[in-house]
A and B are shown apart, each in its own frame.
Chain A
Amino acid sequence: MASPDGKHCRSQTNGEAKPPDSKKQKITELITDDEIMSEFSHHDASVARINNGSFGACPQSVISAQQRWQLRFLRQPDSFYFNDLKPGILESREAIRSLISADDVSEVSIVDNATTAAAIVLQQMTWAFAEGRFEKGDVAVMLHYAYGAVKKSMEAYVTRAGGRVFEVQLPFPVSSNEEIITEFKLALERGKVKGQRIRLAVIDHVTSMPSVVIPVKELVKICREEGVDQVFVDAAHGIGCVDVDVKEIGADFYTSNLHKWFFCPPSAAFLYCRKSAKFSDLHHPVVSHEYGNGLAIESAWIGTRDYSSQLVVPSAVEFVNRFKGGIEGIKKRNHEVVVRMGEMLAESWGTSLGCPPDMCSSMIMVGLPSCLRITCERDTLKLRAHLRECYRVEVPIYYRSPKEGEIDPITGYARISHQVYNKLEDYERFRDAINKLVSDKFTCPSLSA
């Protein structure tokens, strides 16, 4: 931790905001396997933690950096507020801007999570309806597999304000980008059927459940061709998981969590707002005295809070750069291993993957044996709890309703993740647990409510 040196706190008037240096790493030294395990030694070692996708992970060195920021605030909060906070947030924003190839740091705001970002984008729609810029019945389009919170946000801000919401039905399992592109085009047609404008398209970059990488660049292009006013890409699983180049992708708004795949502590996310976007009157719903100074400035002060998770982005970048190839290398290896693990499991269980490898990121959907009789969402929660409690395997399960006429359908898919702390044994344990459940003739209905 920082030494409790009173002088240190008052040295901030030169605008420099970095916490005291952690142990300096030689730039040429790559992180070793032992060091990786040490960085994640606070994880419960008894758990096969193959669900990085839900809550992410944060290494010790970034936690330490976070604690240094927290201590700085506790030591002298006024000085922290006047001297350290703003430059620190700006530094984090600049680091993100560079990572995502945004033109200007003013386009990058830091918020708590993608859920908050969605509320920001959608609240702006409410005002557009209330103030007559949009008309009742104007349309918003989203994917059927959009995240639950985002669906509710659409209901709370768009439907309630008079908008009409269309869901794009996507197939799952899915075998090609073209299937998704076709459905999306169809949904846009439906949207324009009564001559109403499509005011917003919400497109996941990587859907949550079931998890599939969506061809966002192509879909954004279609939106532009169809005259959709605003395109919002929800990439909760974005940075650190798939390639995030906001100019390439071309959306008006793009959000991604930093705590899922970019090693930030809970929680932090960025919301990118293209400068040239038509509608740029976004506000943070928690209004402070910074109201009206632009979303990035508003978001950087929403009242007294612990902003430390937003301040450690530079430390997360330092961590990532200890790996061969930095974040690109991590992404590549995560993808390769999770595909290999998925194929290993599917082969052992006699099932299949939910999509081809090129439509996966660091997560993959693996079919579970149909004899487990997963018949509803409730079963997936029960099975997940059973796996956690009796086998120490943490993995989310997705329920897929069978289509008419399917024989012995696969109705359950496990979404396995791979992150730098995972080991082969994690997936082997899962493989063996399911094989045991099968040989024990276990079925979901046999689990208590």
Chain B
Amino acid sequence: MPPVSSGNPNLVSHILPMASTDAEHYHSGTNGEAKPPPPKKQKLCSFISESEIQSEFSHHDASVARINNGSFGCCPQSVISAQQQWQLRQLRQPDGFYFNDLRAGILESRKVICSLINADDVSEVSLVDNATTAAAIVLQQVAWAFSEGRFDKGDVAVMLHYAYGAVKKCVEAYVTRAGGRVIEVDLPFPVSSKEEIITEFRRSMERGKLNGQKIRLAVIDHITSMPSVVIPVKELVKICREEGVDQVFVDAAHGIGCVDVDMKEIGADFYTSNLHKWLFCPPSAAFLYCRKSAKFTDLHHPVVSHEYGKGLAIESAWIGTRDYSSLLVVPSIVEFLNRFEEGIEGIKKTNHEEVVKMGEMLAKSWGTHLGCPPDMCSSMVMVGLPSCLGIASDKDTLKLRAHLRNHFGVEVPIYYRAPKDGEVDPVTGYARISYQVYNKAQDYERFRDVINKFVSDKFCCACLSV
């Protein structure tokens, strides 16, 4: 392959040079091959070095202690570069791209995902924008079931109290509106064992079946967002099957690259995970897995194109003219992962160990505690903030977060936990720290020191302006 040379200097940033503007290269599409030119080959025996990692993420704002990978993820230079090559291909000759390259490229990405998640068949794997879109797909199908009489008004959907805000709204928009009854599973936080979660879940199953109604759907987070806790999904799916729940949908927005994701092990009917959070995809991409043998499989993408009726995976691969490049770079991501010793497994393991270490360091320094035991954390952990900061509401957490960002260069989301009656000096605020390959101990040390400074300055949230 010719070396990567710079194309039009106006077109690309300082990020990485573009593929050579070789018309011939472009035309290699008719044999069905859709890959952009591969990046510079790595010697097989040398893994990515520390300085290469820093270089891959040199576009990050270096002045920020970026300890919030969980919210928006990150994307290394080499994957951004691969994405730009796809984008350029579309801009150069969009018709040729549409007819020759797009489908093959999406299929290749789907195959890679199929293999990563241990799905049976690539037809079970659809690529969509994000987990939010996947939720709309699953829940819209539930709305049709109600309006077409397959479900009865009052039939139940169960979700966790800590389900993501968008998913709660989605359940309202598609299930409640269509006549379904929604039950939330109250989960304790802080939490000390899986058993606490399993117990609460069983109780909700009972509540759901009270009036003899059927539980049509259970929406279970693999890792809750705020507060962040790893949920024992395999056990909960098993309970759902025992209780005759029709459909189980696991929302693993923080799934792949964060926890183990094995579709056959977990056994859900539908499972979605973002690729841009923990799998180094550019914004944005996610997969939605739909078990072939699931009872209800009439899922459709809400944006209907001429591919309507050909199966969700095909529908999702064409929802009108768009930039599909973030869905096309999955093979390039695998190349990036393979530069790490032990690949994604190694990254997950290191991230987990480091974030627990950092969490414990912070809790010790502040005299607080973690929100759950290490074995219920992934690459994120909830760390209690000193109660003297006076975090008394959701609004306080946003103000504190902005204050940390604007004045101290620390990016970290804060969770408000309402105190229970009788608690003395309760910890009402928890920071959700993340660890990803670009993070350094200094990021967490800065956070530690800032909070300690707040405490010694007798700072409290009430003194922050609105």
Contact = CB atoms under 8 A, between A and B. Distances in A.
Interface of A: 1, 4, 6-7, 9-10, 13, 38, 41-47, 49, 51, 54-56, 58, 60-61, 63-64, 67, 71, 73-79, 81-82, 112-116, 118-119, 122-123, 126-127, 130, 148-149, 152-153, 155-157, 160-161, 257, 259, 265-267, 283, 285-289, 291-292, 302-306, 309, 385, 388-389, 394
A292 B303 CA distance: 19
B47 interface: no
Contacts of A81: 71-72
A78 B410 CA distance: 11
Contacts of B291: none
B303 A257 contact: no
A283 B93 contact: no
Contacts of B174: 287
Contact of A119 (B165, B302, B309): B302
Given A54-B94, A79-B411, A286 B23 contact: no
Contact of A43 (B93, B133, B139, B283): B93
A307 to B, nearest CB: 9
Given A287-B173, A291-B172, A77 B11 contact: no
B441 interface: no
Nearest to B58: A4
B34 interface: no
B10 A259 contact: no
Contacts of B274: 304
Interface string B16-33: 000001010010001000
B88 interface: yes
Contact of B406 (A13, A74, A385, A388): A13
B455 interface: no
Interface string B62-100: 111010100111110000100000001011111110110
Contacts of B99: 385, 388
Contacts of B247: none
A113 B321 contact: yes
A54 B97 CA distance: 12
A257 B15 CA distance: 30
Contacts of B303: 112, 115-116, 119, 285
Given A6-B62, A283-B173, 13 more contacts: A55-B90, A73-B72, A74-B60, A115-B321, A116-B320, A122-B304, A288-B132, A288-B165, A292-B169, A303-B130, A304-B71, A304-B132, A305-B130
Contacts of A288: 132, 165-166, 169
A60 B11 contact: yes
Interface string B399-441: 0001001100101000000000000000000000000000000
Given A77-B72, A289-B169, A303-B133, A113 B322 contact: yes
Contacts, number: 232
B115 interface: no
A420 B443 CA distance: 50
Contacts of A267: 320-323
Contact of B59 (A49, A75, A289): A75
B308 A156 contact: yes
A153 B169 CA distance: 24
Interface string B114-147: 0000000000000001111101100110011001
Contacts of B157: none
A266 B132 contact: no
B6 interface: no
A79 B12 CA distance: 23
B326 interface: yes
B14 to A, nearest CB: 6
Contacts of B283: 73, 77, 304-306
Given A78-B72, A285-B303, A155 B147 contact: no
A306 B131 contact: no
